[in-house]
Structure 1
Amino acid sequence: MTGDIAPRTVIEAFLPMTGDVGLDLVLDTANAAGLPDQPVRLALRRMVAAGDVVQAGRGRRGTVRLTEQGLARLERDRAALTLAEAQDAGRAPWDGVWRLTAVSLPESQRARRDALRRHLTELGAATVSTGLYLSPHELMDLLDATAREHLVHAEAARVTVRGVTDSRAVAELLWPAASVVDGYRSLEETVDRVAAAAGEAEGVRVRVLQLHLADALEQAMRPDPLIPLELRPTPWHPSRVREEWRSVWRTLASRASDGGVYRGWPGF
């Protein structure tokens, strides 16, 4: 396998929803994947400083566990994976409602206003006018109560964006299909390489291959707004790639005598 795995991916892959994990397992797997201890320890220190995890003990005898904040953040990240799986299986049809959101904060709170706008963009909303965002998804549940206090939210069955009214055309205008599809090319290549190696994998090699899959999926899905499939061309290439990913993941999970990584997490 080629391609570097992000140190944070290695750590997160072993964090259980409850309880802790030994750093010896994290570091040994990272080493097997070609990552030395130092970048993994640095990533861990950053996660501790951010309040996402708590470390007990030092060195390979230490342990690490998620905080409530870290668990909530990972659960939000996993929500995208759950949505993608439901869309691909036809269990998450679009309700036909467009959501319009604006941030209502004065210039005196510019930094906070800009942060909220960035967050809406990260959640897949598109800018349709200065400070006004559009999404086919309900995003309010993904924002904390403090953020929602500063938002103006409306729903519409039809929208016109720059003279475009057809829903599919609006989606293509704001979230071009080609750029999303291109973002899955690298994932597709990784899936093919891992599939070729999965049949003979054992022990730590299984976990390393899983990490390559997880990291590549993260890179592909992070910029994907997961627009409902009713608004995308048919067939939708990212759906096919994700299904191939799931097939290879299931093969590896069946070969992992210790359960592999991401144990107990939805979508894995």
Structure 2
Amino acid sequence: MTVEKQLLYLLSKKVEMEGKELINIFEEMNYTPQSIRNILSKFKGMSYITSLERGIYKITPSGLDAYSLYSKKDNFYTKHWDGKWYLVFLEIPETLRRKRDAFRKGLLQLGFGMLYKSVYVYPWDIINKVLNLVDSLEIEDYITIISSNEFLLNGIVPEGRAGPNTASSLWNLEEINTNYKNIQIWLENEYKTKFNSLIKDNNRNPLQVFTNFLTLKEKRDDLLIADPMLPAEFLPGSWLGTTVLFSIDKLIQTLITLIPENSYYSSFVADLRS
């Protein structure tokens, strides 16, 4: 969904955009014009965008809802946990298998861990996003949601303690941490050379700066989607999440400052300027 998410992001920041403007941005990122036209046609068919004039596109409420589901979660590493857990129970019949699979996938993307086959758990209050997912799939009759400050038996076990429901197993923290390590290596060994060259170039192209921003934003969003961002007591001591995200955020903010405020691309990052 990389290009699709980026395209919805761009359209969410403008009242409308010309197809050639979108193609110009994505060509800088080595995508072909035809691939972008194909996505635009796909999104029109899904009612994510509309085109009142030939070659001019506008995102619809359905498109905004889709982007909200695809887009990054909040960075919960910056928030205080109140000790409350949110549990989602589902009993969706086999006749609605596709909706059931889509809902389970959506919960996992939002950060929930699978406690049991039809029970999902998460420590952060994102129930509005869960309800939006329920509404979009029209499965209200098959879902129950509760919140609680305690488990009476077999709760989620903090790091270093034994039990059947360890955070490491529910959320596969080892694999997520390995992903962070790989991104850390990419930043240090590959990307920062390119980044530093861009910083030093006094004749830098605003489009090149903006596409670098899109690349890093996508990396960050993918990390946030994969990472449940559990409270500190459930994370291993070797956890790299906060360090890597801080590094990416710092690079992103630097890129934003390099996009002139009178540039065409400034409106895409206006709400992110510090």
TM-score if structure 1 supplies the norm length? 0.79
Using the TM superposition, give the Cα deviation of residue 68 of structure 1 relative to its aligned residue in structure 2, in angstroms: 0.9
Cα deviation, residue 67, structure 1: 0.6
1:115 match: 102
Distance 1:153 1:244, change over 3 A: same
**Cα distance in structure 2, aligned partners of 1:135 and 1:151:** 16
Q: Distance in 1 between matches of 2:198 and 2:226?
A: 27
Map of 1:92-241 to 2, 5 A cutoff?
92-142=79-129, 143-144=131-132, 145=135, 146-159=138-151, 166-168=157-159, 170-188=166-184, 189-190=186-187, 192-199=192-199, 200=201, 201-234=204-237, 236-241=239-244
Q: Aligned match of 1:253 in 241, 251, 256?
A: 256
Classify 1:255/1:98 alpha carbon distance in 2 versus 1 (closer, same or farther; 3 Å): same
TM-score norm. by structure 2 comes to: 0.78
Superposed displacement of residue 148, structure 1: 4.3
**3-state DSSP of counterpart to 1:54:** strand
- Contact 2:89-2:145 within 8 A present in 1 as well: yes
- What residue in structure 2 maps to residue 15 of structure 1? 11
Instruction: Say whether the 8 Å CA contact 1:198–1:252 is kept in structure 2.
Output: no
- Structure 1 residue 70 corresponds to structure 2 residue 63: yes
In structure 1, distance between residues paired with 2:255 and 2:65: 27
Counterpart contact for 1:53–1:67, Cα < 8 Å: yes
CA RMSD of aligned residues (A): 3.0
Shift of 1:77: 4.0
Relative to 1, partners in 2 of residues 1:26 and 1:187: Cα closer, same or farther, differing over 3 Å? farther
Which consecutive residues of structure 1, in runs of 5 or more, have no partner in the other structure? none
Preserved contact between residue 98 and residue 157 of structure 1 (Cα < 8 Å): yes
Q: CA deviation at 1:223?
A: 2.0
2:269 match: 263
Once residues 224 and 145 of structure 2 are traced to their aligned partners in structure 1, the CA distance between those partners, rounded to angstroms, is: 26
- For 2:50, the equivalent position in structure 1 comes to 54
Structure 1's 150 and 225: CA in aligned 2 closer, same or farther, altered over 3 A? Answer: same
AA in 1 matched with 2:116: S
Query: Could you say what secondary structure the match of 1:262 adopts?
Result: helix
In structure 2, the residue corresponding to 1:249 is in which secondary structure?
helix
The answer (yes or no) to whether the contact 1:198–1:209 under 8 Å persists in 2 is: no
TM-fit CA distance, 1:206: 0.9
Q: What is the percentage of aligned positions where both structures have the same residue?
A: 17
Are the aligned partners of 2:256 and 2:269 in contact in 1 as well (CA < 8 Å)? no
Change in 2 beyond 3 A, CA 1:264/1:66: farther
Q: Check conservation: 2:157, 2:234, Cα contact below 8 A.
A: no
Q: Separation in 1 of the partners of 2:25 and 2:217?
A: 14
Q: 2-side partners of 1:224 and 1:165: how far apart?
A: 17
Q: CA deviation at 1:39?
A: 0.9
Unpaired runs of 5+ in structure 2? none
Residues in 2 aligned to 1:241 and 1:194: alpha-carbon distance in whole angstroms: 18
Shift, 1:13, TM fit: 4.3
* Deviation for aligned residue 1:264: 4.3
